[in-house]
Amino acid sequence: MNLRIGQGYDVHRLTEGRPLILGGVTIPHPKGPAGHSDADVLTHAVMDALLGAAALGDIGTHFPDTDPAYHHADSLKLLEKVVSLLEQQGYAIVNVDATLILQKPKIAPFIPKIRENLSRMMHTPLETVSVKATTEEGLGFTGREEGVAAMAVCLIRGS
Ligand SMILES: Nc1ccn([C@@H]2O[C@H](COP(=O)(O)O)[C@@H](O)[C@H]2O)c(=O)n1
Ligand SMILES: C[C@@]1(CO)OP(=O)(O)OP(=O)(O)OC[C@H]1O
């Protein structure tokens, strides 16, 4: 069986007045991630994990931040494109496990909807998609609420 592992990591600066969109869910908060796209850091980490597992480059290769087509882009739609690239290469997703590193707000109430969104875009059952969150206990750039980070690992199966 052709099993391949991938990992992804992303960071965005938090700024006042930007929407906080995580896994396609808009979470009420005065600050959100700055970026060319919707800056959905969680979805970006998942996309990079998937692309990494298939050795297909990274999100910047496929969706350059200099391309106006991706200005305010919906990252869930980009995830759909990544999944379609993998499917074209004969890969199916086995599971994804992602961790969000964010001091505030608590995202636990939004995790079911985030998992549902990711699972729908990845054509994979809900139970294969895990999303977790942690603070860094007030330490570092996430602790000072200057930024948000996300990491993800995945397993994919080739044909
Ligand atoms: N933005 C966050 C961060 C954490 N959580 C949940 O709180 C638990 C405790 O977090 P610690 O950083 O204090 O360990 C964590 O396990 C998550 O369940 C959250 O919902 N949103
Ligand atoms: C998806 C893209 C598209 O501009 O999103 P950005 O908001 O620029 O976010 P970043 O994680 O810095 O880079 C990835 C880009 O390819």
pLDDT in tens, 129-146: 999 999 999 999 999 999
Q: Is the CB of 133 under 6 A from ligand 1?
A: yes
Amino acid type, 99: T
* Strands (DSSP E) found in the chain: 2-16, 20-22, 25-27, 31-33, 92-101, 129-134, 147-158
Among 75, 56, 55, CA closest to 65: 75
Taking the complete model, does pTM exceed 0.90, yes or no? yes
pLDDT in tens, 40-71: 999 999 999 999 999 999 999 999 999 999 99
Q: Is the CB of 107 under 6 A from ligand 1?
A: yes
Number of domains in the chain: 1
Q: Which domain holds residue 117?
A: 2-158
Domain containing residue 88: CATH number: 3.30.1330.50
The position carrying tokens 């980070």 is: 149
Q: Is the CB of 39 under 6 A from ligand 2?
A: yes
